[in-house]
Amino acid sequence: MATGVLSVNGDLDAEDTSTYNLTVMARDVTRDNLNSTAVVNIKITGVNDNGPRFEHLIYRVNVSESTPVDTTLITVKATDPDGDNGAISYAVSGQDSKIVQMDPTTGVVKLAQLLDFEKKQRYEVTLVAADESQLTGESKLMLAVGFYS
């Protein structure tokens, strides 16, 4: 005996298919084969199930020790397929993170401190992208200090 309950037999993902339109038919087999149909529209709402991803796992930047503070070193970008649930904010972390500052909205990374080649030639900064549910993605920024012109 049929129950009239509709169910799915797999996962639904709003990023793949956001709406389904079904025609459902009910039939009374006990009396004159009466039947009726109805259209069922199903809208799948997205959940934040994907973390942001940077375009590159590692960003390498050569920078002169004479580079002034507040100079833009690089602009990075992360994407999140979750649409409206995937608004991204940026930050830096790690032991060397104080050497740079990162705009939380644009992904612009600027020099925050003066560099001294004699003290340190390489910096490694972790770049973090977070979405509204705080799912995160990470990348590395490798700074090489030299006497570049």
Residue 23 is predicted with a pLDDT of 87
Do residues 65 and 117 share a domain? yes
Integer Cα distance of 46 and 49 in angstroms:
8
Q: Helix (H, G, I), strand (E, B), or coil: what is residue 16?
A: coil
Do residues 39 and 60 share a domain? no
Q: How large is the C-alpha radius of gyration of the chain?
A: 27
Q: What is the pTM of this model?
A: 0.71
Do residues 80 and 98 share a domain? yes
Show the low-confidence residues of the chain (pLDDT under 70): 1-2, 14-15, 31, 46, 83-86, 148-149
Do residues 68 and 86 share a domain? yes
Residue 113 is predicted with a pLDDT of 97
Amino acid 114 reads L
Residue 38 is predicted with a pLDDT of 86
**Domain extent at residue 92:** 53-146
Residue 108 lies in a domain: yes
Do residues 65 and 132 share a domain? yes
Do residues 19 and 68 share a domain? no
Amino acid 2 reads A
How many structural domains compose the chain? Answer: 2
Do residues 81 and 22 share a domain? no
Q: At a CB cut-off of 8 Å and minimum separation 6, what does 30 contact? A: none
Q: Helix (H, G, I), strand (E, B), or coil: what is residue 64?
A: strand
